[in-house]
Every structure is written in C-alpha cells, then in structure tokens.
Chain A
Amino acid sequence: DAGVTQSPTHLIKTRGQHVTLRCSPISGHKSVSWYQQVLGQGPQFIFQYYEKEERGRGNFPDRFSARQFPNYSSELNVNALLLGDSALYLCASSLVPREGLYNEQFFGPGTRLTVL
C-alpha cells in the first residue's frame, strides 16, 4: 500500500503570494493533520481534519486554512506569504480518531516551501 503522499515536493514563491499544498492519506485513514517544520526545529501542529471538519488548530494565523475532501485527501492553503513561512510542511494521516485514545500518525515526506 502507498504511504501518505504530498505534492508538490518543492515549491518556490514570493512574498504576498498564495500557495496550496496537497495531501493524500493512506487508504482507509480518515483523519489528516498538517504540521510546519522550520529548519532546525521540531514540527509544529497546524490543523487536524476528520470527516471534512476541523477538529484541532495550532497557534497559526488566519492566513493558514485547510480543507478535507470526501475522499479524505486534504489541501493546506497559505495566503499572503511571508518569508517566515519558508518551511517543510508535513501531512500525517491516521485512522478514525477515538475519544480517549491515540491513533498513530503516519507522515508523508513533506513539501519544502521557500518564500523569497
């Protein structure tokens, strides 16, 4: 089975532009989470989606948004790009979230975004 896939692998944008990153979860996984990993730091949680609804949000501005589609794939959108948005954006998928339990997250290889 294919793992989590993300596209594109690399992206270069300029300040003020908009970007859309895409993620396809492992078959059978219904929850998708997004993380931002700045060089030299650990990943920072941005969003979790399940059943097309936002279930969790990290400390990111409203310029960051996401959505999940009926096939459970997801898009992360970032508006008005800043230099500080340059990072590796990771997508992770997991099985149906279960209250009181933790489902292992499986990570994709990421999209490297460079903002000039």
Chain B
Amino acid sequence: AQSVTQLDSHVSVSEGTPVLLRCNYSSSYSPSLFWYVQHPNKGLQLLLKYTSAATLVKGINGFEAEFKKSETSFHLTKPSAHMSDAAEYFCVVTKTSYDKVIFGPGTSLSVIP
C-alpha cells in the first residue's frame, strides 16, 4: 500500500528566503512522485515529477525536489520565495497510469512581505 505524509500543515516564510516543504512516502515498490500546487480558486498545477530518472528534479517557477530512497523522502525546495508562491502544495505518489493516485494532506505556504 502507498501513503504520503506531509510533515507540516502550514509553513510561513519571508519573501526572498528559502522554502522547504517536506514529504515522506511509503510504497512497496519504486514509486513515481509529484508535487502539485493549488492556488485559491484555481486548478491543480503540476510543479515537478520524479519517475526513476535523475534523483534531483527541477520544476517550474524555480522549484526543485530531491528523491532520497534511503529516507523515503521527496522534499520540495526553492532558494527564494516570491509572494506569488503562496498556495497549497500537495505531494503525490503513484506507480503507473493505471494505479491509484495518492495525494498527501497538503501544506499551506504563506509568504510574508
């Protein structure tokens, strides 16, 4: 069975400082991992994905994530937060296109000017 844990329900950072959103997963096989962002009243947007290629994945808007199998983690980072980054972020795990997609509970990111 697969599961996803997002360790912080809410993260607050100052504009221009680094962002770290933590995600740990549980999977009995090599998973595919994703980060999605959800802005208020907008649809979910894919930030980045890991599908067993390079362990350091670069996404849109300056975000990146590192897959660490030994720690079963897939933390999302950004060197410098922007006001427009304020949103809900979801870590997601699945295996293939035919498998159930499991979303984490989400982390709400606030950016303080």
Contact = CB atoms under 8 A, between A and B. Distances in A.
Contacts of B106: 40-42
B97 interface: yes
Interface stretch (A14-22, A66-74, A94-102): A94-102
A104 B49 contact: yes
B98 A56 contact: yes
B46 A104 contact: yes
Of listed B32, B49, B94, B97, residue having the most chain A CB within 10 A: B97
B8 to A, nearest CB: 14
Query: Which 4 A-B residue pairings sit nearest by Cβ, starting from the closest?
Result: A42-B103, A97-B97, A107-B44, A107-B43
Interface in B1-17: 4
A11 to B, nearest CB: 16
Given A98-B97, A99-B96, A109 B104 contact: no
Interface residues of B, number: 25
Given A33-B101, A101-B96, 18 more contacts: A35-B103, A42-B105, A45-B102, A45-B103, A58-B100, A92-B44, A97-B96, A97-B98, A98-B96, A98-B97, A101-B97, A102-B96, A104-B49, A106-B46, A107-B43, A107-B45, A109-B42, A110-B43
B88 to A, nearest CB: 9
Interface in A37-56: 40-45, 48, 55-56
A49 B96 CA distance: 14
A105 interface: yes
B23 to A, nearest CB: 11
Contacts of A98: 96-97
A25 interface: no
A42 to B, nearest CB: 3
A54 to B, nearest CB: 11
Nearest to B104: A42
A27 interface: no
Interface in B66-107: 90, 94-106
B61 interface: no
B93 to A, nearest CB: 11
